[in-house]
Chain A
Amino acid sequence: MKLSPSLALTLPLISGGAVAADLSVKFELPQLNVAEYHKPYVAMWIEKADGAVASTLAVLYDVKKKDNAGEKWVKDMRTWWRKAGRETTLPIDGVSGATRAAGTHTLSFGPAKTGIDKLPAGDYKLVIEAAREAGGRELVRVPFSLPAKGKVAATANGKEELGAVSINIQ
């Protein structure tokens, strides 16, 4: 199943309380001047303080390729693959999605996906990893703390395969 851009709308904030639980991630895939360009594969997850994956939010790759051939390069997102990917079966319902073109994109996730409302208080990171066939690989980490009482906004920047990454929790 492809990740729907309107996923956030289908998963409304249920609690209605003061705890912020909706996460949106705005990320930039730079336009690269290279001889051979392929759209990057992108993984996005919430990382605990010890480096373990709390939840995988998105894995963007060539989901439509025949015979699941697109999965071959998913392991090039080495960090995600090592920590979570190799233990999962692709495609992941509601997590796998198509690659994105260069530009700025926003993905939104409700509490059912992030599990933020159930995570213990502490320091976390939103991690985004991009890997490009015949290109490079880069990770950007955006630290944040839970519980998020009220709105959380944080940003970080990539250098090569990723541009500005900002998160919002509300």
Chain B
Amino acid sequence: MQNSLHSSFVKHGVLGLILLATAGVASAHRPWMLPTSTIVETKEAWVTIDGAVSEGLFDFDHMPLRMDGVTVTAPDGTTAAGPAAVTGKLRSSIDLPLPKEGTYRIALVSTNVMGSYKVGEDVKRFRGSEADFAKQLPAGAQDVRKTVTHQRIETFVTAHKTNDAALKPTNAGLEMVPLTHPNDLRANETMRVRFLLDGKPLPNLPFSLVPGGVRYRGVAGEIRLTTDAKGEASFKLPAANMYWMNAAYPPNPGKGPAPDNGPAESKRYAYTATLEALPE
């Protein structure tokens, strides 16, 4: 009950922080969803997915990821709202049954606005959903500026055998299309991906992968890559681990709302996935 009363307020606060976290390349706070297992082969298949915004990957060291808007795309390609999340102090969790054989895509997709406008001489700032921004904008507001950020945070889980129906792109925002099945990644085997922006291949896009367990290594071990002319990249992950994949478009947008002398409206996109590479 308390959750639902506060959810709208908290959601905006958390999403705002996530935006700050992902928009700036140098920021250490990363949002992610971490499945307990990426391939489940038990008779009654379930997976628990933890969500957090953290400094260390994949440590619960900062704050939970608000998982209210999670959607689950089933192996038959249908997308539905995910189960209710339990939100703790440092992480949130959902328990997800996997009744169908095949691959599930768990995604948290959001569109958020950072904006400012002038009422007379007063400059007002806004952070929240696009609909709320339109609603709150008073008549006669001037110098309206807004930055709309479309963000996708996702992960993939397979019950028994992989399939591809859930991997089809939605053609909205920044997306990674796995050309190698995301639940069949092995250390030292070639993985291929394609990045799309609103359904179109995105060439020369920098993206990176960071292996989990930074706290035990002391070094981030970030792998920096760039898509080719076709928006694709192929690479090998050096060791078995959970990897945090991240890309942003435009690649270096800077922080905070658009500058006062900038365009009235700008768009940003952020993509994050948790991928597991297993040993051979």
Q: Which residues of A contact B (CB under 8 A)?
A: 75, 78-79, 82, 86, 139
Contact of B279 among A75, A78, A86 (CB under 8 A): A78
User: What does DSSP make chain A's interface, helix, strand, loop or mixed?
Assistant: helix
Known: A78-B280, A82-B184, A86-B160. 6 other contacts (CB 8 A): A75-B41, A78-B278, A78-B279, A79-B280, A86-B161, A139-B280
- Residues in A neighbouring B278, C-beta threshold 8 A: 78
Bound together, the chains give a CA A94 to CA B214 distance in angstroms of 47
User: What does DSSP make chain B's interface, helix, strand, loop or mixed?
Assistant: loop
- Residues in A neighbouring B280, C-beta threshold 8 A: 78-79, 139
Could you name 9 residue pairs across A and B whose Cβ atoms are closer than 8 Å? A75-B41, A78-B278, A78-B279, A78-B280, A79-B280, A82-B184, A86-B160, A86-B161, A139-B280
- Residues in B neighbouring A78, C-beta threshold 8 A: 278-280
Give 1 or 0 for each of B251-279: 1 = CB within 8 Å of chain A CB. Answer: 00000000000000000000000000011
Q: Taking the nearest CB of chain B, how far is it from the CB of A88, in angstroms?
A: 13
Closest partner residue, chain B, to A83 (CB atom) = B280
- Residues in B neighbouring A139, C-beta threshold 8 A: 280
Closest partner residue, chain B, to A79 (CB atom) = B280
- Residues in A neighbouring B184, C-beta threshold 8 A: 82
- Residues in B neighbouring A75, C-beta threshold 8 A: 41
Q: Taking the nearest CB of chain B, how far is it from the CB of A128, in angstroms?
A: 14
B172-198 with Cβ < 8 A to chain A: 184
- Residues in A neighbouring B160, C-beta threshold 8 A: 86
Closest partner residue, chain B, to A86 (CB atom) = B161
Q: Taking the nearest CB of chain B, how far is it from the CB of A130, in angstroms?
A: 14
- Residues in A neighbouring B279, C-beta threshold 8 A: 78
